[in-house]
Structure 1
Amino acid sequence: MSRFRQRAVLTGCVLAAVLATAGLFVTDYGIHPELWLTGLALGFLALLAVLDPWLHRRRAAGLATDDNLDAAASALARALHAQWNEEYRARGLQDNLLNLHWSALEGEPGHSDAIVRAFQRSRRMVFLGDPGAGKSTTAMLLTIGLLDQNTNGPVPFLLPLSTWDPNAEDVRTWMTRRLYEDHPALRNTELYGSYAADLLVEQRRVFPVLDGLDQIPPERRPDALDRINRAFPGSHPLVLTSSAEEFAEAGTPVPGAHVVQLQPLDHEEIAGYLRAVSDPVTAARWEPIFLHLRDEPGGRLAEALSTPLAVWLAGVVYGYGEPSELLDRARFPDRRAVENHLVDALVGGAFGDRAVAHHAGASQVWPKDKATRWLAFLAEEMRKRGVRELGWWELRRSVGSTWLALLGAIVLGTIGGFGVGWLMAYASTPKLAPITGLAAGLVVAVAALYASGHRVSKPRLGVWRSLVVVSGVLGTAAGLVFGALYGLSAGLVVGLGIGVAVALRFALGSSAELSHPSSPKWTMARDRIAVWTGSLVLAVVFGAAAGVVFGPSQSGMVGLGLACGLMLGFTLSVLHLRWWWFTVARIWLALRGKLPWELMVFLEDARKLGVLRQAGASYQFRHPLVQDRLAGARPSEVPSDA
């Protein structure tokens, strides 16, 4: 749905609710409520018919045209540009970016400011380097650089390969799915036609920037590379990052690709960066380390600090500490010991310190021991699933699917059944209250069980995509039931209210903003808006219906109708939304002490504190080393605050 139609539907819904209320309670001018409501209902349906995208299906039902795809690619480029620039600033790279050195395996030297030019010459590149060498940063810089140019060429789409299972789906199918997941507005058939994301991939209007071949299990890497080569042959743009050893072991070259190697940092670059990010006192503390690196350029400490990740960690960890402890050979005998120490210090130092939280802009000071335990739980859950991305909607996987479905169904069934039964208990048929409430609760519970395992599919353009038909049919059905029980006016109020609720759900569920950068907070906010809007609409509907049935002077019954409508509206709004199942899982895990109550606030603070980073609508640990280190920790190794 276009932005104009979306706003018009929302405005029409608000006007319908206001005019319905005015017609019911303002009777000084001899307005007959039933006539008023009938005319208003017909007028509302006429408005929906004018705005209904399905009625324009000749334009929307066909495959996306070239103009549709041009518009989609342009808007997608703007969204990705905003997304990755925001992440670039969040990581502090605009102020303290190490100069990443890379050279071709043939020996040609290069520098990070030449990445975009190098790609434009070859159009196919493979970046190799040790863990922490800056491969992901290079991929992000290349993506931003290409998007900065705002050309009409293919749009770079940066994706972590850890989210792809070569045995489960084709690489192009995976790219298409990720486009729909991260940018749901591509489902907007009115603006972009049908199968916009599919055609963007098929027609090479987007090209993959694939980060982390080494994150795919070893036994699957050769097949994964073979599938990538077949999907994107030598004439098509492609970027791939991997560790050098894992790429060589895969034994499958990338035809036509310019392979470059990210080089380790030397002692002068390490010293220059650490002096730049330190105050004079802290910089002086680093001098013994700089002397050691100069004297032993091939030693274990020089090797440990040879990657941008390790140098960044050292700068953060020893911002106010004493780095000379790294000279202790017994405590830090090799590179792995130094890296583990820096990761542990990063996680431990990020939490529990008011000054650190204030400097990072965190919302609160999280207890160090609890924060470490929560992050270790998330890292372990991600390790079990073999993923590197933490999507908030995937939290449900940390609770057994059967157990989660039962919890969600019981809660929703109880809320919905109690709302209906409570209202019936004070209506003209109190004897039916227990039976009606139980029946309503069972219906809601069954619907919740079905919704718990139902995945949202690609948009279909059948009659169920019709705004006016669906709103009209459901509103008429509800109106007939309530009209038979409580009279024509009550039936008209409820029918119109249900129609308004369905139209609102349709409008709010349609993404009109493809150019909006994807983020965890934004994707969750869309679900929450749909929930509370639908809840409030049905609250007003049932409140008005109670006023019609019992008389507006009985304010208690009107209030009861509002409360019951709010409960029923909530249960109907959340059934197919990821937010509800996330909330059930979050509360259950918080009750067991596995995660904090304010999970999303905690994750955003962890991002600000440098432990997490953001990739589209998901979070990631700052580096796989951080995730692996936390996932390897045992609960007994994490101190308790008890």
Structure 2
Amino acid sequence: MARSEPDRVHNEITTKTASQVTQIGVVHGGQHIHLTVGAPADPLVAAAEDLARAVRAQWRAEEERLRISVPFPLPVRWRRADEVPADHWATIRCLPAGAAAEPLALDGGLDKVVEVYQRVPSGRLVVLGKPGSGKTILTLRFVLDLLAERTGAEAVPVIFSLAAWDPTAITLESWLVSRLRNDYPVLAAGRSAAVELVRDRRVLPVLDGFDEIAHGLHATALAELNATAMPLLLTGRTEQYVAAVANARVLSAAAVVELADLTPADLTDYLSRIARADGGWAAVLHELHDSPRSAAGTELAAVLSTPLMVAMARGVYSDVPGKDPAELLDRGRFGSRAAIETYLIGAFTTAAYQRPPEPGHRRWDPELAERWLGYLAWHLNRLGKPDLQWWQLGGSLRRWIRVLVVGLVSGLATGLMVAVVDTLGSGSVRGLANGLLQGLLTGTAFSVVHWGVLWLAPGALEPARVRMRLRGAAGLPRVQLCRRVRWALVLGLLFGVASACVRQIQTALVLGTFEPFGVLIVDAIVYVPLYGLAAAATALVTAWLETPLDTKAALSPTSLLRTSREHETIRLLVVVPVFLLVMGFGTGALVALIRAPAAEFGIGVLWNLPFALAVGTSTGLSAAFGYVLSATAWGQWLALSRVWLPLTGRLPWSLPAFLADARQRGVLRQAGSAYQFRHARCQDHLAHAYQARRQEVPLGGEVDRA
């Protein structure tokens, strides 16, 4: 039968779509022709790739700093925890109803962690162990190994510290979204990217530290984890997990493994490889391998059964010359396992600061460094969280102290700046007195502002995940822009009312005259609307300049601090010119309108352009410095962490350098935009030592975090 088409061509088109390409098969004259055309890139796939790149860079750098693979990783092993309550194996293996299921073979070592996880069909695995047993090493290695094998379609493993989760306040998925947005700018840039990645299971949560959830919330946390079927890896201490299961139910569809102790055989090659040239570990290894062991050897073998204690011993005896690990066998000095562990944890910090600093890092006094770290640990324990975030370092201070300090610093800063402007403008010493007086009054006002922010809007004191860009600025969405301009207008009007009152008080104190009616009304008519207009214009310009952070890397404490400083500096550079122009020329227009009506009431209105520009400059400086210091994260950091806490001896003056150096020495580690102590036990020991020094009582043990 002849074909109806003129060219007797029959086209049969089939498509096969991948993530990036579309293949089209065309049958033409009996011959198959395959064409490949580019498909639109999936933005979610691109976001997942950027997230994977950032996570890989973050944890690879952290592994190198902690020297986990130098000279080689300790042999972390685990076995199936048959004695720990777990779900039915048929559920774990995702089998249909009535199917019989045998337990999975889950025993393994660190080099097989991804393989063991992939044996679990449900994708839900619980890793338990005692303190310091290697859970952090396992999660880090799991993430890096899984990323090395990952294809574009697979989920990105991301480590989340559960100590920061309150399961009574936010659901698991919402919390994961918020943490992703906070720590990874690639997901903060788009409003829905983090939501879609979590919802579509393109993120594999590695939930570290189930035992560090606030006391009393473990059962609630388990219930929330059971509200979702998403694949995950959960780590925690055996005791806390078993207690939570007893009060709730097991983690649904999750297999459970438990980390095993290190044996003397595991330690032989490792300790020999990390020994200094003068030896040092030979006596310890001989004692560990003796059969039967002495009481001292038995205690030390128990201490060195966890990777944490091996790392502490390495830092104390192998990284610093002049110390002999054989002293750990002295029963007169160390009468118990707890005594040895307490000594190693305490001596680790001192030893870290006895090592020569890395190139580019300064040398710190070990005693002072331990005191400062103790304050930071005490601060975190008071907040009940492991994340050391620079904008919250003043959070342990009493509220009235924070309000007073912010008021004093903002008052001094604004007073000095205004004094310089007034003195240069007037050419007299009276400008200095006027500026200092205005600083005192505005400092009081901004103390009230800071108290209001602490009480009503504490979220405003967190750093914005944006930066200022002078060219090609993206700007905020229209809804956010309108909201910000509206709030700025309201605040500007209130600032105008306060400024009119402050001017009257200044006039009364400096010149000895007080006109509570006429001049106050004129000031209110002139300045209040102009302050509102200037504030709204400032908000409009700064919002236009804002653009998302670099989306190719994870945030770090240093980068976020630097970005916040640049953000507020540009805000200052915007506020002052805007106030100068609005107040300078706006007052001229308003004065021209009200001069005649004011004269009818016997009120003389004097105005000249230099005076108006001076007022605009001084008020712009007051508004800018006061707002930054009292109502922004960087301002709070500046007033409390860079002035008050160093002034009182609780922190060093060079705090950013100190924190970066502590991370370099292995005392701190980086977790997204925050620092954490290397282990919770190190944090607790330092916090207790600091508390003991404050109260001048003898050390009696570590803080119980159970």
Q: Contact 1:471–1:503 at 8 Å: present in 2 too?
A: no
- How far off is 1:103 after superposition? 2.4
1:105 aligns with 2:81: yes
Greater RCO between the two (CA within 8 Å, min separation 6)? 1
Partner of 1:25: none
Partner of 1:597: 653
Partner of 1:144: 144
1:567, 1:237 → 2: CA distance? 53
Q: Contact 1:470–1:502 at 8 Å: present in 2 too?
A: no
Partner of 1:167: 168
1:437, 1:98 → 2: CA distance? 60
Q: Contact 2:403–2:447 at 8 Å: present in 1 too?
A: no
- Of 385, 388, 407, 2:386 maps to 388
Q: Contact 1:81–1:144 at 8 Å: present in 2 too?
A: yes
Partner of 1:248: 242
1:408, 1:509 → 2: CA distance? 26
- How far off is 1:112 after superposition? 0.8
1:218, 1:443 → 2: CA distance? 40
Partner of 2:54: 79
- How far off is 1:537 after superposition? 4.4
Distance 1:560-1:315 versus aligned 2 partners, 3 A rule: farther
Distance 1:447-1:250 versus aligned 2 partners, 3 A rule: closer
1:574, 1:275 → 2: CA distance? 54
1:376 aligns with 2:378: no
2:356, 2:422 → 1: CA distance? 52
For 1:411, give the aligned amino acid.
V
1:292 aligns with 2:287: yes
Distance 1:335-1:362 versus aligned 2 partners, 3 A rule: farther
1:583 aligns with 2:632: no
Moved more, 112-121 or 615-624: 112-121
Partner of 1:209: 206
- How far off is 1:94 after superposition? 3.8
- Of 66, 69, 79, 1:91 maps to 66
Q: Contact 2:129–2:258 at 8 Å: present in 1 too?
A: yes
Moved more, 562-571 or 400-409: 562-571
Q: Which has the higher helix share?
A: 1
Deviations 1:183-236 (A, max 9, x none): 355343xxx2x3443343333332321111122355322222122122x32xx2
Please give the secondary structure, in 2, of the residue aligned with 1:318.
Answer: helix
Partner of 2:676: 620
Partner of 1:53: none
1:294, 1:333 → 2: CA distance? 20
2:419, 2:136 → 1: CA distance? 56
User: After the TM superposition, which residues 551-590 of structure 1 pair with which residues of structure 2 at under 5 Å, given as runs?
Assistant: 569-586=624-641, 587-590=643-646
2:347, 2:359 → 1: CA distance? 20
Deviations 1:268-317 (A, max 9, x none): 22121122223332xx3211111111115782111110111111111111
Q: Contact 2:391–2:633 at 8 Å: present in 1 too?
A: yes
2:441, 2:342 → 1: CA distance? 57
Deviations 1:561-610 (A, max 9, x none): 98986665444445542111122221222222222222222122111122
2:399, 2:181 → 1: CA distance? 24
- Of 511, 517, 525, 2:562 maps to 525
Please give the secondary structure, in 1, of the residue aligned with 2:356.
Answer: helix
For 1:580, give the aligned amino acid.
G
- How far off is 1:88 after superposition? 1.5
- How far off is 1:387 after superposition? 1.6
1:301 aligns with 2:300: yes
Partner of 1:269: 266
Please give the secondary structure, in 1, of the residue aligned with 2:652.
Answer: coil
Partner of 2:156: 155
1:347 aligns with 2:323: no
For 2:205, give the aligned amino acid.
P
Q: Contact 1:211–1:240 at 8 Å: present in 2 too?
A: yes
Aligned residues: 545
User: After the TM superposition, which residues 455-474 of structure 1 pair with which residues of structure 2 at under 5 Å, given as runs?
Assistant: 455-456=458-459, 461-465=477-481
For 1:398, give the aligned amino acid.
S
1:461, 1:305 → 2: CA distance? 56
Q: What TM-score results when the alignment is normalised by the length of structure 2?
A: 0.67
1:218, 1:147 → 2: CA distance? 33
2:46, 2:409 → 1: CA distance? 43
For 2:570, give the aligned amino acid.
T
Distance 1:566-1:536 versus aligned 2 partners, 3 A rule: farther
- Of 332, 336, 339, 2:338 maps to 336
Partner of 1:363: 361
Partner of 1:15: none
Q: Contact 2:488–2:536 at 8 Å: present in 1 too?
A: yes
- How far off is 1:616 after superposition? 1.0
Q: Contact 1:540–1:562 at 8 Å: present in 2 too?
A: yes
Q: Contact 1:504–1:533 at 8 Å: present in 2 too?
A: no
Partner of 1:10: none
Distance 1:638-1:533 versus aligned 2 partners, 3 A rule: farther
Q: Contact 2:407–2:443 at 8 Å: present in 1 too?
A: no
1:407 aligns with 2:405: yes
Q: Contact 2:411–2:441 at 8 Å: present in 1 too?
A: no
Kindly report the root-mean-square deviation, in angstroms, between the aligned alpha carbons of the 2 structures.
Answer: 4.3
2:306, 2:252 → 1: CA distance? 28
Q: Contact 2:77–2:259 at 8 Å: present in 1 too?
A: yes
Q: Contact 1:590–1:597 at 8 Å: present in 2 too?
A: yes
Distance 1:173-1:102 versus aligned 2 partners, 3 A rule: same
Distance 1:427-1:442 versus aligned 2 partners, 3 A rule: farther
For 1:172, give the aligned amino acid.
E
Moved more, 463-472 or 302-311: 463-472
Distance 1:472-1:414 versus aligned 2 partners, 3 A rule: closer
1:519, 1:379 → 2: CA distance? 20
Please give the secondary structure, in 1, of the residue aligned with 2:257.
Answer: strand
Moved more, 560-569 or 392-401: 560-569
For 2:334, give the aligned amino acid.
F
Partner of 1:224: 221
User: After the TM superposition, which residues 410-429 of structure 1 pair with which residues of structure 2 at under 5 Å, given as runs?
Assistant: 410-416=408-414, 419-420=417-418, 423=421
Distance 1:150-1:511 versus aligned 2 partners, 3 A rule: farther
Deviations 1:532-556 (A, max 9, x none): 223344566789999999xxxxx9x
For 1:280, give the aligned amino acid.
A
2:200, 2:422 → 1: CA distance? 58
For 2:66, give the aligned amino acid.
R
For 1:76, give the aligned amino acid.
L
2:301, 2:487 → 1: CA distance? 68
- How far off is 1:500 after superposition? 8.8
Q: Contact 1:128–1:261 at 8 Å: present in 2 too?
A: yes
Moved more, 518-527 or 99-108: 99-108
For 2:57, give the aligned amino acid.
A
Distance 1:178-1:401 versus aligned 2 partners, 3 A rule: farther
For 2:171, give the aligned amino acid.
D
2:187, 2:311 → 1: CA distance? 37
Partner of 1:506: 543
Larger radius of gyration: 2
1:405, 1:66 → 2: CA distance? 51
Partner of 1:5: none
